[in-house]
Amino acid sequence: MLSKFGNIKAISQAIIEELSQIKGISFAKAAQIKACFELGKRQELEPEMKNFDIQNPQDIVKAIQSSIKDKAKEHFKLILLNTRNKIIGISTISIGTLNSNLVHPREVFKEAIAHSAASVVLAHNHPSGDSEPSEDDLIITKRLTEAGKILGVEVLDHIIITKNGFFSFKEKGLISKS
């Protein structure tokens, strides 16, 4: 592979069909190679979450921005926190389209309950680069906040992330303390 592509970066950027043209590499093996490179990329995107304290919206942005800021579709993430506001998990709830995402309280709180989260932070990206919330963003935030109150899992914030910035519902007074 190195003799054909020249370096590791070029191998990682090769498509499965190119890899499978190399003698001894089947289509299935080429898919495994691509999967290994993808896992390596994703590992680099995820900061170490152990004992990661959430004190403000910037901490959430730091924890997940690199994994969603450049996505072409909206990715809705759920950051699960313990009683001391330490991250205990991050889940992708849904992947939407260029400008919308379908999120249901059932999926959000299923994750929170399964991980015994004391509170959660909602986050998603806006591929457009505009961090202002849409009408749908406002509606789903209100709906999830109300569902969280019923279930005893506080929604601390909803953060919209773009390549160049973010919008915090909490900072703008759009989410109030339970």
How confident is the model over 146-165, as pLDDT tens digits? 999 999 999 999 999 998 89
Q: Quick one: pLDDT at residue 178?
A: 55
pLDDT at 20 over 70: yes
pTM of the complete model = 0.72
Q: What is the mean pLDDT of residues 72-91?
A: 92
For residue 99, which of 121, 129, 78, 122 has the smallest C-alpha distance?
Answer: 129
% of the chain at pLDDT higher than 90: 57
CATH class of the 57-168 domain in this structure? alpha beta
Q: Quick one: pLDDT at residue 13?
A: 87
Instruction: State pLDDT tens for residues 116-134.
Output: 999 999 999 999 999 999 9
**Residue 66 binned pLDDT confidence (cut-offs 50, 70, 90):** confident
Residue with tokens 């789903």: 140
pLDDT at 25 over 60: yes
CATH 3.40.140.10 in the chain is located at: 57-168
Number of separate helices (H) and strands (E) present in the chain: 7, 5
> Exposure of 6 by Cβ count < 10 A (0-12 exposed, 13-18 middle, 19+ buried)?
exposed
